[in-house]
Structure 1
Amino acid sequence: MDLLRSLPIGSYLEHPVTWLHKIDPRVKLVWLMTFLVAPLLSNPFWRIGLAASLILLTIIAGIPLRVWRKQMGWLLLLCFFMFLLSSVAPDSLAAKHSPRMPQFCPDAIVPATSTDTPENLTTQQPAECQLKLPQPTSYQYVYLDRRGFLFFPRLVVTRRSLDVAVRISTLIFTLIYSTSLYLLTTAPEEITAGLEDLMSPLRRLNLPIPEITLTLTLSLRFIPLVLEEVQNLVRSVRTRAIDWKKLGVKRSAQLWLIVSEKLLENLLLRAEQIAVAMDVRGFTSPNEHRVQWHQLRLRWRDWIALGILIPFWCARWLIGGVA
């Protein structure tokens, strides 16, 4: 089990360098915000198209299969189960839907007398006349209605529940995978440099922009360390060949509590080591120790990526619609 290789969440792919790596981090940040905002208030077809476009972008960018295969596989599996659970869950609408049914049979109308009432006329019709009328349109609110048997509950899939299922599953995939793809193709220094450049107007409000970007840089660098510590602790537990059945629930919980305490202790130790290393090198303030690792400059590929935003948002308003 290697979390750093199987699930490279927050890890930067240094090699191979694809064309997605060469795009300016500010442009990629704008596209990331676009993928996060575009699914809001959109129809299911647009949401599915966004998820498919992320998969297609990964393939076109030439990112190795070993990098995103397991990560995308587990994420797609999670979204699939979320789709199944949400589609069969109650749709939260108290409306009872029924097809069009005739009130009486036209061929069996009994002539009305002075003593007959409207209630008597309807009750005099035979039960065979209660037939379904042909629906005027192809609209269906209930897609699937299967009665349960034995221990299986009744399965009802409606238009509302299916829409909610598509919305939840595609949102989870788009939010997680778009962020992961951004971190995969953008170095932490590029991310912080781009954010610092975009937030530079906020300096007029006396906001500590250098301190915020430094904290973000350290947090991004700390994600692989957290995965490494989790991986080491899991391996240490597996090598001891613990029989969980003999331990029981209480002792197993105590053991995992000890492991969690050890994980927190190791992470705090790593954080202290980073602080000591910065202190030894004379680091006092981000303003006095500025190292420009990347030169932010928009090139032709960046302008093309920004230009694609215009037809993208036009398609969003014309095709995406409102959910």
Structure 2
Amino acid sequence: MDLLRSLPIGLYLEQPITWLHRIDARVKLGWLLTLMLTPISANPWWRLSLVGWLLLFTLATRLPFRVWKKQMGLVLFFSLLLFTVTLFAPDGLTVPNQSRLPADEFVQPQGSPPAANGSSSAQNSPQINSLPQPTNYRYVLFERGNIRVTRRSVELAVRVGTFMFVLIYSTNLYLLTTAPEEITAGLEDLMQPLRRFNVPVTEIVLTLTLSLRFIPLVLEEVQNLVRSVRTRAINWKKIGFRGSTQVWSAVAEKLVDNLLVRAEQIASAMQVRGFTSPDRHQVQWHQLKLGTLDWVALGGIAVFWIARFAIGG
């Protein structure tokens, strides 16, 4: 098992360099926020179209198939699982329907004696359940036993499934094609107005940079611990549930200890290099400058929002 190769979630792909790598990080961040905000209050067709656009966009970037096939497979499986669970779950509309008039005044029950006045109109009145529906509308789409699918449950399932797919996969695609230093440089440039309110922008950006760089270290530690457990050939059936719990508790404790050691090593390395304060030791990794491709992408954001209000409802 190689987590750094089989499941590179949140890792930057250095090679090959695609056209998506060349777009400015600020523009890609605008597209990321657009994909996350446009599903709000949108109809199901727009939400489903976002999933299709993301799939086509991934193919258009010409990223290696080995990179995104497992990521997309996991995200699709998780989204379909949420869709299925929400589809067959109760829709929340459990308000009972009750007639405004008593039953004996509204419909004459079958087998009851005629009214006292001798009129036969009550006997000849049709049952309410036998009246034909004026339209083909059906709120309950499928019902068999305890399984009940309604229009509301389908809408909720589409909303939850598509939102989780767009949220996870668009973020992963952004991290896959944007270097961590480029992300933090773009965020720092966009957060410059917050300096007027004494917001520590540089400290926040430095913390974000270290967090993004720490993700591969976490995956590496998890991978090493799992390999160490597998090489010992533990008989899980023999030790039972209690023994298995103790083993994995020890592994989790060791993982936390190793991560704390890694964090301490990073802090010591920064202090040795004179990194006492982000304002005094600030490194400029990227020169942010908008090019022709960036302006085209910005125009695409405007067209995308226009289509959202025109089609998305």
Structure 2 length-normalised TM: 0.90
SS of 2:188 mapped into structure 1:
helix
Given the alignment, which residue of 260, 275, 280 partners 2:272?
280
Given the alignment, which residue of 135, 140, 143 partners 1:142?
140
Residue 248 of structure 1: aligned partner: 240
1:121 Cα deviation after fit:
4.2
Give me the whole-angstrom Cα distance separating, in 1, the residues matched to 2:122 and 2:95: 25
1:6 Cα deviation after fit:
1.8
RMSD value over aligned CA atoms? 2.2
Residue 4 of structure 1: aligned partner: 4
Aligned CA distance change for structure 1 residues 10 and 113 (closer, same or farther; 3 Å): closer
Q: Partner letter of residue 298 of structure 2?
A: L
Give me the whole-angstrom Cα distance separating, in 2, the residues matched to 1:239 and 1:38: 48
Give me the whole-angstrom Cα distance separating, in 1, the residues matched to 2:270 and 2:195: 25
Residue 63 of structure 1: aligned partner: 63
1:307 Cα deviation after fit:
0.6
Q: Is the 8 A contact 2:28 2:174 kept in 1?
A: yes
Q: Is the 8 A contact 2:115 2:122 kept in 1?
A: no
SS of 2:142 mapped into structure 1:
strand
Residue 220 of structure 2: aligned partner: 228
SS of 2:213 mapped into structure 1:
helix
Which structure 1 residue ranges, 5 or more long, are not aligned?
Answer: 98-102, 105-111, 148-153
1:116 Cα deviation after fit:
3.8
Give me the whole-angstrom Cα distance separating, in 2, the residues matched to 1:113 and 1:51: 63
Correspondence 1:188 to 2:190: no
Residue 302 of structure 2: aligned partner: 310
Aligned CA distance change for structure 1 residues 246 and 116 (closer, same or farther; 3 Å): farther
Residue deviations 1:73-111, cap 9 Å, x none?
0110111111111101111101468xxxxx98xxxxxxx
Residue 77 of structure 1: aligned partner: 77
Q: Is the 8 A contact 2:141 2:150 kept in 1?
A: yes
Q: Partner letter of residue 141 of structure 2?
A: Y
Residue 102 of structure 2: aligned partner: none
Give me the whole-angstrom Cα distance separating, in 2, the residues matched to 1:306 and 1:183: 19
Given the alignment, which residue of 205, 208, 215 partners 1:213?
205
1:305 Cα deviation after fit:
0.6
Identity %: 60
Give the alignment of 1:58-137 within 5 angstroms: 58-95=58-95, 115-116=117-118, 121-123=121-123, 131=130, 133=132, 135-137=133-135
Give me the whole-angstrom Cα distance separating, in 1, the residues matched to 2:43 and 2:255: 43
SS of 2:45 mapped into structure 1:
helix
1:44 Cα deviation after fit:
0.9
Q: Partner letter of residue 238 of structure 1?
A: R
Aligned CA distance change for structure 1 residues 139 and 238 (closer, same or farther; 3 Å): same
Structure 1 length-normalised TM: 0.88
Q: Partner letter of residue 17 of structure 1?
A: I
Residue 110 of structure 2: aligned partner: none
Q: Partner letter of residue 302 of structure 1?
A: D
Aligned CA distance change for structure 1 residues 141 and 113 (closer, same or farther; 3 Å): closer
Residue deviations 1:129-176, cap 9 Å, x none?
96451x3333221111112xxxxxx21110001111111111111111
Residue deviations 1:39-60, cap 9 Å, x none?
1111111111111111111110
SS of 1:21 mapped into structure 2:
helix
Aligned CA distance change for structure 1 residues 74 and 116 (closer, same or farther; 3 Å): farther
Give me the whole-angstrom Cα distance separating, in 2, the residues matched to 1:140 and 1:125: 25
1:67 Cα deviation after fit:
0.5
Residue 100 of structure 1: aligned partner: none
SS of 2:233 mapped into structure 1:
coil
Aligned CA distance change for structure 1 residues 113 and 13 (closer, same or farther; 3 Å): closer
Give me the whole-angstrom Cα distance separating, in 2, the residues matched to 1:188 and 1:240: 37
SS of 1:17 mapped into structure 2:
coil
Residue deviations 1:249-276, cap 9 Å, x none?
2221111111100000000011011111
Residue 157 of structure 1: aligned partner: 149
Q: Is the 8 A contact 2:32 2:171 kept in 1?
A: yes
Residue deviations 1:169-204, cap 9 Å, x none?
111111111110000000000000000000011111
Residue 18 of structure 2: aligned partner: 18
Which structure 2 residue ranges, 5 or more long, are not aligned?
Answer: 98-105, 108-113
Give me the whole-angstrom Cα distance separating, in 2, the residues matched to 1:179 and 1:280: 34
Give me the whole-angstrom Cα distance separating, in 2, the residues matched to 1:122 and 1:16: 81
Q: Is the 8 A contact 2:88 2:147 kept in 1?
A: yes
